Amino acid sequence: MNPIDRFLGIFSHDIGIDLGTANTLVYVRGKGVVIREPSAVARHKKTKEILAIGTSAKKMMGRAPVAIEVIRPLRNGVIADFDATAAMLSHYIKKVHETESTFPKIPRPRVVIGIPSGVTEVERRAVAEAAIDAGAREANLIEEPMAAAIGAGLLIEGPEGNFIVDIGGGTSEIAVISLGGIVLGRSVRIAGDEMDEAIINYVRLKYSLLLGQPTAEAVKIGVGGVEMGEDKDAQKETKLTVVRGRDLETGLPKSIKLTSEEIQEALSPILQEIISNIVDTIEETPPELTGDIMKKGITLAGGGSLIPGIDKAISEAAKMPVYIADDPLTCVVRGCGLCLEDNGLLKRIRVTKGL
């Protein structure tokens, strides 16, 4: 590394970035998680000029005039739009250096970026290069399930097997980790987004009502679940959610009431699909590691792990304990952060190096 970069590095913030399909989070070494925004970019359709990034871009989703497009750069767990991904990365690297400093800093940070494991080697290099272009003096890429496992506090460097499932927006990442590496992994494109879609389809077929994605997501986060709370009578009464959409017959706005049972019914096929991928992965796991995993159980991370009852449903199907990580939405970025705090760790786990 050249001495000028090394010198400027003293004045930079080392940062960890979770480039998720739904949310981008930024961790600053010594400070913790400082940014949490949706992974969204609004830009001019023709000129490709970037108009907004993150929360302000997401607010424009479904409301923007025809000349403006709001995209999710990592939609299906692959980099759907490279330029937008690079713009997001550079925006956050600069933002951290503007807002987190008492005096202006020249951004020459070390960065650790968590990306979905389905991203190809070529795209990985391109992301690392984009971080370098944004000013990073060193860019390290780490696979999301690995970062999630570190953030969830699993002992990934030991010889014992760990099983992590990160249910995000675009992908569910399932991985078996041992001796600091991913032994076996799957990245399936069935996660939070498909749950929203399932609610939209269910309501469209049953009530001829078209819901917007934000409404469907709110329904999912509010009362979606695979099972209602225990048999205590008080909890047995059905929760109702009022949703507003467009009546497909009249074309006019209409509200209906959805019961929690209906939402469970809508979500059930998606949850079953995730569960069957988990069970298949367990079956493919080398027997030595299966023994450890049976004892230690499965750890869940990502926003999808907050669907009530999902842990119980997985536990029943996989016949082993299931734990939800603390603060599951920040596991990946905290894992990236721990790699910054402990340089040795970064060297011991397999990462893609930037330039």
For Mg ion, the binding residues (CB under 5 A) are 20, 168, 332
Report the distance separating Cα 67 and Cα 45, nearest Å. Answer: 6
* Residue listed under structure tokens 């449903």: 313
CB of 270 to ligand ADP, least distance (A): 11
What's the rounded Cα separation, in Å, for the pair 65 and 55? 18
* Comparison of 96 and 142: residue with beta carbon closer to Mg ion: 142
Task: Rank residues 18 and 262 by Cβ distance to Mg ion and give the closer one.
Answer: 18
Q: Which long-range contacts (CB under 8 A, 24 or more apart) does 292-297 make?
A: 292/160, 292/161, 292/162, 292/178, 293/161, 293/162, 293/163, 293/176, 293/320, 294/320, 296/160, 296/161, 296/162, 296/163, 296/321, 297/163, 297/321, 297/322, 297/323
Cβ distance to ligand ADP smaller for residue 74 or 289: 74
The piece of 64-72, 154-162, 216-224, 291-299 that touches ligand ADP (CB under 6 A) is 216-224
For ligand ADP, the binding residue among 41, 307, 318, 336 (CB under 6 A) is 307
Nearer to Mg ion, 54 or 168 (CB): 168
Q: Which lies closer to ligand ADP via its Cβ, residue 107 or residue 302?
A: 302
| 306, interface contact from ligand ADP, Mg ion, none, CB < 5-8 Å by kind | ligand ADP
Which string of b and e fits 118-139 if b means at least 16 CB within 10 Å? bbeeebbbbbbebbeebbbbbb
Interface with ligand ADP, residue 302, by CB under 6 A: yes
Q: How far is CA 128 from CA 53, 333, 347, in A?
A: 20, 16, 16
220 binds, among Mg ion, ligand ADP, none (CB under 5 to 8 A by kind): ligand ADP
14 binds ligand ADP (CB under 6 A): no
Kindly state the smallest distance separating residue 7's Cβ from ligand ADP, in Å.
Answer: 35
Which one of 15, 17, 22, 211 is in contact with ligand ADP (CB under 6 A)? 22
Of 227 and 288, the one with the shorter C-beta distance to ligand ADP is 227
Single out the residue of 306, 318, 338, 346 in contact with ligand ADP (rule: CB under 6 A). Answer: 306
Report how far residue 14's alpha carbon sits from residue 216's, in angstroms, rounded to the nearest whole number: 37
Q: Pick from 5, 61, 12, 53: which is nearest to 216 by CA?
A: 61
**Residues forming the site for ligand ADP (CB under 6 A):** 20-23, 168-170, 192-193, 217, 220-221, 302-304, 306-307, 329
